[in-house]
Amino acid sequence: MAATFEYKEVVGIATESIEAAIKAGLKEVSAKYQIAWFEAVSLRGRMVDAETTEYQVTLKIGCREK
């Protein structure tokens, strides 16, 4: 029985939406690991220009090596 998970902590970034930033972070980690769950622990960002906002979501991701 696999009895442990490990946490990876990443920052996903996108300008479309907070959800897109989360998905960018998940995609990066899912290339190497099997993701079981995630927790969004902070939301930061910056204004790219008057119309565009960049969202930076810090994710703690519970996962196992594939």
Q: Which chain residues interact with its own copies by CB under 8 A?
A: 3-14, 17-19, 22-26, 28, 30, 35-40, 42-47, 50, 53, 55, 58, 60, 62
CA-based torsion, 30, 33, 36, 37: positive or negative: negative
Q: How far is the CB of 64 from its own copies (least distance, A)?
A: 10
Q: Among residues 3 and 66, whose Cβ is nearest to its own copies?
A: 3
Minimum Å gap between C-beta 16 and its own copies is 9
**Alpha carbons 9 and 14: distance in angstroms, whole number:** 17
**Bridge partners of residue 37, in order along the sequence:** 62
